[in-house]
Chain A
């Protein structure tokens, strides 16, 4: 009777082992099944995602193509024009500068709707003086619309001679007159402002500054030698006088030495700008002292 129990235990163990095996395989197949299920699910998902991705790819490609097509005219040129822009800007700056530089020739102009407005600049011995303008209307015949030329400059005469036939000659001729006038005016102004001490009376001048009359004195020790000078500038295109008379204003007769001085003054006024003659007078005051003592 102990013999039968032992085989039951063996069977039990055997059954247990079998159960475990079945459970294991069940588990396995369950796992397998779920794995398989998961796998197929993933597979489906992958398919779906691939489909969506492909659609999106196509869409982006299409939109990109359209965007490229419409911006094709703009994008490539953009890069070219940026550097071309720099070249053009530099050219513009250079041209603008040259336009301004024409002022240094004494003759410059600006194109207007009617023609041209010419600007004439004047100077004397490096001193830049007034500018004048002439507004020309380009039509047949050429006309002066308006101008800032002083009334005593013979504008009509110059225009009658040259304006219709040779405009360059008209302009340069006008330049000559205006520069000469400016120069004469400058000399007279300088005399009045810087050498008033040497003048014994007011400087008499006309608007054209081509007729000047003044009295001055040359001091030597306790003696004073008064002179009267009359300067006539017949040639309106010159800054030096054509006729000069210096007369002695004193009562007694002039000594030969002083007569020489008077004559030399006349020569000086003819050859040296007025204010510089007087500058030399104020310097020579000392020199005269030495030469006549």
Chain B
């Protein structure tokens, strides 16, 4: 009988537990709406996050397309950026009403074939009258390093802490670089036997010589220069190589004055037409 009594007690306890469980779960006829509602009630904050996650994904899509658009517009592709801010009021002695903040920025990305990595510091000083921002340090690392013209200009930009000039000049340098590449390739394709690019399409020299005129060679040296203010401009020069006998016959000193005349020609015809006229010189008439 004790066993029976024990069983009765056990059964009564189980029934009580089951009744409680029944109360917590909604009756089937109340539908899934109730389920969602009660679920939402119990997991209020979680469901909020779930809804914003969907929004987050679409927002990310917007951001991605905005970045892609900016990259196309500027020609710069910024891949990474970090920023640190330091309030100097705590470490430096500042006068009353002057607020000093030092920002450290790190930026990396590429512009066509050139990749850059920048680290710079901006000091923000807020006085009662105005707010001034000054770049106090600038460090630039650029790849590839074989563009000598670029390395010169990098040290100049760092010296002047001129961040915008760096980007502006980089844009124009790359534009000229690509234009030179296209132009050389165009002439190589058009006059394959006469035009020679010893360093490939990325070279800065174009050699013109023809088997029909052995011994004669014209070399166009096309450099991309940057001046102190970061202005980018092309500088083209003509070098001539002629057989000694031809020099003797040259009474009008055509060969001697050729480099000078080439510069004049450039001014008159522009780069492409000037180059083409030189190429045609060494191409036989019946080419």
Contacts and interface: CB of A to CB of B under 8 A. Distances in A.
Contact of B50 (A81, A100, A172, A238): A81
Interface residues of B, number: 71
B72 to A, nearest CB: 9
Given A60-B22, A105-B76, A105-B164, A49 B39 contact: no
A95 B56 contact: no
Contacts of B50: 74, 77-78, 81
B133 interface: yes
B172 A237 contact: no
B63 interface: yes
A99 to B, nearest CB: 6
A67 B168 contact: no
A161 B203 CA distance: 30
A70 B107 contact: no
Interface stretch (A21-29, A51-59, A205-213, A259-267): A51-59
A66 interface: yes
A179 B66 contact: no
Interface in A61-104: 62-64, 66-67, 70-71, 74, 77-78, 81-82, 84-85, 88-89, 91-92, 94-102, 104
A107 B167 contact: yes
A221 to B, nearest CB: 36
Contacts of A107: 73-74, 76, 167
Interface stretch (A11-19, A114-122, A223-231, A280-288): A114-122
A30 interface: no
Contacts of B162: 123-126
B15 to A, nearest CB: 5
Contacts of B161: 125-126
Nearest to A77: B50
Main secondary structure, interface of A, reads helix
Given A38-B1, A85-B49, A179 B171 contact: no
A71 B35 contact: yes
Contacts of A91: 60
Interface in B114-139: 118, 120, 122, 132-136, 138
B251 interface: no
Interface in A139-188: 167-169, 171-172, 175-176, 179
Contacts of A99: 63, 66-67, 70
Interface string B57-87: 1011001101101100111101111110000
A106 B1 contact: no
Given A91-B60, A126-B160, A60 B18 contact: yes
Contact of B56 (A46, A57, A89, A96): A89
A219 B53 CA distance: 72
Most buried by B among A64, A81, A102: A102
Contacts of A191: none
Interface string B2-16: 001101100110110
A64 B168 contact: no
A128 interface: yes
Nearest to B229: A238
B60 A95 contact: yes
A57 B25 CA distance: 13
A70 B162 CA distance: 62
9 closest A-B pairs by beta carbon, nearest first, are: A106-B164, A126-B161, A56-B18, A63-B25, A49-B11, A101-B81, A126-B135, A70-B32, A128-B133
23 contacts: A38-B1, A43-B4, A49-B12, A59-B22, A63-B26, A67-B35, A71-B36, A81-B49, A92-B59, A92-B60, A99-B70, A101-B81, A109-B70, A111-B69, A123-B162, A123-B165, A125-B162, A126-B162, A126-B163, A127-B132, A127-B135, A167-B73, A168-B75
